[in-house]
Structure 1
Amino acid sequence: MTESTEDTENTAPGQWWRRLSTGLKRTSASLGGAIADLVTKRKLDHAVVEELEEALIRADLGMETAIAIAGKVGEGRYDKQVTPEEVKAILAAEVETILAPVAKPLVIDPAKKPFVVLVVGVNGSGKTTTIGKLAARLTAEGRKVVLAAGDTFRAAAIEQIKIWGARTRSPVIAGTQGGDAASLAYEALETARSQDADVLIVDTAGRLQNKSTLMGELEKIVRVMRKVDATAPHAVLLVLDATVGQNAMSQVEVFARTAGVTGLVMTKLDGTARGGILVAVAAKYRLPVHFIGVGEGVDDLSPFAAKDFAKAVAGIEE
């Protein structure tokens, strides 16, 4: 198998770290301030540990994770002075432990050609932009990519896919607004196969407010594609907006159930993000996290690195 996540970024490591730490600044600043307030000039006791739990829960890390991390801080340290740096180091280590098992690359199997990637997520999550960035990564690796504008509910989504297709020199299969998404996906797969494409990326609608319609449409897309390739789709990526906090949990639950999600992409880590939610998602659902996005640029989609993300959440400088 060939991995699609080799480190092909043009961004220097130091520059990428600055962008990631800036993107998680809301979470790290909130946690850092709370930690400093709790442990500076105070010895560690049960009250401090409970307050630390509450700070971690407010940062969207999830109750179980918050309890586990606060418990680790308390181990062998009661009635002792603890520095903010010590607490941050424990926080980073525990977050990394949770994230490391899910930090997995998206693997493109060359035996499955075209390799079909179905991309799902609510409207506004950055789904279409992520498709464009992923197409750019894959074409930069020398793969032939075809895009399918399967979010036929929104004219803007169709136009966005066309723009990204032009940017990445990827053929785009698109219809008209209100067209049948499943028929479009079928046509796109047949076209990708006839053009000997390596990867087909299919956009989908994200009308989460009508779950039954969404589920029916996604099921139909999968059903008709399997008439062409019984193994398609080969990956189902859920795009999550890091600014929505706890709402991400319900999105994972719905899309995992309706679309058979195989991996996650977290977008909009842009300084307003509540990035702690990715820790809670990883702890509960254990789905692979393939990429994170820190901005709108074509190079702003990067393979997910658990250690870097954990340090950025904890506010530890590189």
Structure 2
Amino acid sequence: DDLWTIDAWNWIHDTAFPKINNRGSRIIITTRDAGLAGRCTSESLIYHLEPLHIDDAMHLLLAKTNIRLEDMENDEDLGSIVTKLVKRCGYLPLAILTIGGILATKKIMEWGKFYRELPSELESNPSLEAMRRMVTLSYNHLPSHLKPCFLYLSIFPEDFEIQRGRLVDRWIAEGFVRATDGVNIEDVGNSHFNELINRSLIQPSKVSTDGVVKRCRIHDIMRDIIVSISREENFVLLTREKITVVAEESIRHLAFHGSKCSKICLEWNHLRSVTLFGDRPAGRTPALCSPQFRMLRVLDLEDAKFKFTQNDIRNIGLLRHMKYL
């Protein structure tokens, strides 16, 4: 799924296919690169996915907003605005689901006003940049208590499966979730998670037999937008291999994606969370669990792939504000 390089295809082909393929073996791949698809197979075997038919697009929007088809058929104005909305979305499922998640929280009489706010690029040019503007609008319409919860997802790598409990517990430790009268803080955190699911901003990836979402993923386009907004707002800093990072003093959340980051210019004592994926960070960074992280609330080492030293453990004990480990 979501193939990007011919090297990845060559590895799959050489590994999965026997040298003598006389049993009719087949591999289905998806990619956004038409040129790459052509290098994997003949043109006759390539299926170019088209936008939804208008009727299917309208049914998808109605389903997302819990509006019955009969209601639309009996209301000429509603039918007209639904038609305009799916056209403005370029008949693209992700755009329709994203916009539908917003409309589900609004009264039908407000749909016309919302339609006029939508960027029109997708109607004539269903490009990635136009899609990004559409999803950014969804972020702007989020209630204030959900915005930090949503941006926090940029910490996790692409295609990463996120555990519901891990995410909610981290939100609580960061202070993004507050208990309300008669409702405990875990239930409030779970309601935030469910709201992001209902708005199609995150995708369920594992659901229990009683219908509870246990794990989720973020669509690639959605994650790109979250990372971009997080960078603009100095919310999360991501480090990748062989990249020099110069960050603002106000950065509060740091995630290491890979071990080699040549230089990070950062006020370490301002950090609230540090998350590690992969090997121990190398280069000009403080020691893991350094006393410089004195304001740290979250230290997530679940996906770290290295052994901890006695010095690491001793330093963790000095982090007085730690609420999640």
Q: TM-score, normalised by structure 1?
A: 0.26
Higher relative contact order (CA 8 A, sep 6+): 1
Higher share in helix: 1
